[in-house]
Structure 1
Amino acid sequence: MAQPTSEAGWGPPGRGHEATVPVPAAAGTGPISHAIFRLARLHRMFAGQLLRRIGLHPGQELVMMHLWELGPQRQADLVRLLDSDAATMTRTVQRLEQAGFVRRRPSPTDKRASLIEPTVASHALRREVERVWSRLEELSTVGMSADERAAALLTLERLEHNLVKAAADPAGTDQKR
């Protein structure tokens, strides 16, 4: 059953607007987790729509951002930077390479490895990626004051920190804290 709505607008947490998908009773003990799920789904959907206009899929822009900022990287380093897996990164790099946004070149220090580097063509894409991220931020935070945006960011960072900490102690995820 979906959360109740309030015609008055956004109110305190747990009240306000209806959930975008029905909240099953089994998720009732995890309203924040269900809200994160819904938010992540919508965020990725809008990111996908905006990125498609510039020829990218969600996640590819993150690879490009790191390459633009850090310069050529080994694929293994990109996997670590983006907390990805090797198979996903291989597909992502292959698609970026086919689109002409990255190229591979042999590593000068490790003959077994190659470096992934942004192409000249990708540099024009950088402005477009920045515009997409700016628009995504606008869509996500419309109607929020600077203080509300700062508070939301702190809350999201805290949630991330909590899950990173839990991931470092997998045995602790089975215990109630």
Structure 2
Amino acid sequence: MGESGHRPTVPVPAAASCGPISHAIFRLTRLHKMVAASLLRGLGLHPGQELLMMQLWEWGPQRQADLAALLGSDSATITRTVRRLERGGFVRCTPSPTDGRSVIVSPTAAGNALRAQVEAMWHDLEKRTTEGLTEAERDATLAAIQRMECNLRETD
């Protein structure tokens, strides 16, 4: 443990020394996803499936193409995610009444029943992720992450 009571940070390899923040984001993202996956397994979900369900809970049934756009994902990934959720009984897919090429994805009763558990899981994940940070540090971290996201969106 370091002087602050935390484990020492992972050294940045020389090849990544020109991008220490990018390297730290990569490591943090990987760890965050691993912890999230572990928590989601208990709900019968894979990472990312809860994000799709959140969209359905918030805005109701959606065209599959709209879900892909909302989640910033490609159609193949969304199709795979929807199929897994459908096999799990969490969503139902029906043809669009106005566009025969579109599929409408709706949460089932089982999918809606997951909401409280997913919210509790996200609360737990947030607590684990931000443990030891003051409110000001959490606010500053969120602001910095949001700015970095904007920076990357502007380079698309």
Report the TM-score when normalising by structure 1: 0.84
Aligned pairs for 1:110-129 within 5 A: 110-129=99-118
Alignment length (residue pairs)? 156
Q: Relative contact order (C-alpha < 8 Å, sep 6+): which is higher?
A: 2
Percent of aligned pairs sharing the same letter: 58
**Counterpart position of 1:175:** none
1:74 offset after TM fit, Å?
Answer: 0.9
Task: Give the structure 1 partner of residue 74 of structure 2.
Answer: 85
Structure 1's consecutive aligned runs of 4 or more residues displaced over 2 angstroms after TM superposition are none
Amino acid at match of 1:149: R
After superposition, what is the alpha-carbon deviation per residue over 1:100-121, rounded to whole angstroms, capped at 9, x for unaligned? 0000112122122220000011
Counterpart of 1:97 (choices 63, 86, 100) is 86
Which residue of 12, 18, 27 corresponds with 2:9?
18
Q: Give the one of 4, 11, 19 matched to 1:8.
A: 4
Q: Is contact 1:9-1:17 (8 Å) kept?
A: no
Separation of aligned partners in 2, 1:112 and 1:160: 33
2:92 is paired with a residue whose SS is: strand
Return the alpha-carbon distance in structure 1 between the equivalents of residues 68 and 97 of structure 2.
20
Q: Which residue is 1:139 aligned to?
A: 128
Give the whole-Å Cα distance in 2 for the aligned partners of 1:8 and 1:151.
20
Q: 1:159 aligns with which of 142, 145, 148?
A: 148
**2:112 and 2:56 mapped to 1: Cα distance?**
10
How large is the Cα RMSD of the aligned pairs? 1.4
Instruction: State the TM-score, normalized to the length of structure 2.
Output: 0.95
How far apart are the structure 1 equivalents of 2:4 and 2:57?
44
Unpaired runs of 5+ residues, structure 2, are none
Gaps of 5+ in 1: 11-15, 168-177
**Cα distance in 2 for residues equivalent to 1:48 and 1:67:** 20
Give the equivalent residue in structure 2 for 1:73: 62
Report deviation, 1:50: 0.3
